[in-house]
Amino acid sequence: MRLLAVSTSSAALAAALACVAPATAATVAIHDPRGDAPARYDLTKVTFTNTSSTLAFKAKVRGLHGGRTQIYGMSISAAGTKNWYLNLDAVRRSNGKVHSVVTGSTVGGTTTATLCHPKVKWRLVKNTITASFPRSCMPDAGTLQVSASTGVGNGKDGDPADWTKTFNVAQD
């Protein structure tokens, strides 16, 4: 009987903790229509997390596979203003090597490479592309406006085959 009471108490505690919202970052996931682009470039879901220390993305791509050069891009700006924006451009070459760069631009149109060093991984078996970089790359804290794209390209020029709508993500 005592064992049953401990098990019941543990189960009740676990259920109560599961109902409490964790203190996590602001995360937004959007679904993009499946089949609106050729496989390997068809974004189906993009998740964006905006914390005080990190920006993180996860893109689900239908039929992602190697063999050719592919690009993944993310455009980021402060919500409600167009004073600046950042672009993450990641290229996966046919040999599997990934090169990524973050460029920034101001209202005046000055474009510069930033000192940000994004971590980008292409997981072909899982059909995902993940990326993250420090929040300090952003000129301002707060809500961000983002959109993602994927397609064919070499890192300097590209032809997006699919892109998401623009959406807002609050900061934690």
Whole-structure pTM value? 0.77
Per-residue pLDDT of the chain (172 residues; tens, 9 = 90+): 443 333 333 333 333 333 333 334 589 999 988 988 887 888 999 999 999 888 899 999 988 888 888 888 888 888 877 677 788 888 888 888 988 888 877 666 666 656 678 889 999 999 999 999 888 877 777 888 888 888 887 666 667 788 888 888 888 8
- Max distance between CA atoms of the chain, in angstroms, equals 74
- Give the CATH fold of the 24-169 domain: Immunoglobulin-like (2.60.40)
- Domain positions in the chain are 24-169
Q: Taking phi first (over 0 means left), then psi (-120 to 50 degrees means alpha), and beta for anything else, what does residue 127 get?
A: left
- 3-class secondary structure, 145: strand
Token duo for residue 88: 């993450």
- Residues, the chain, total? 172
Q: Give the count of beta carbons closer than 10 Å to the beta carbon of residue 79.
A: 16
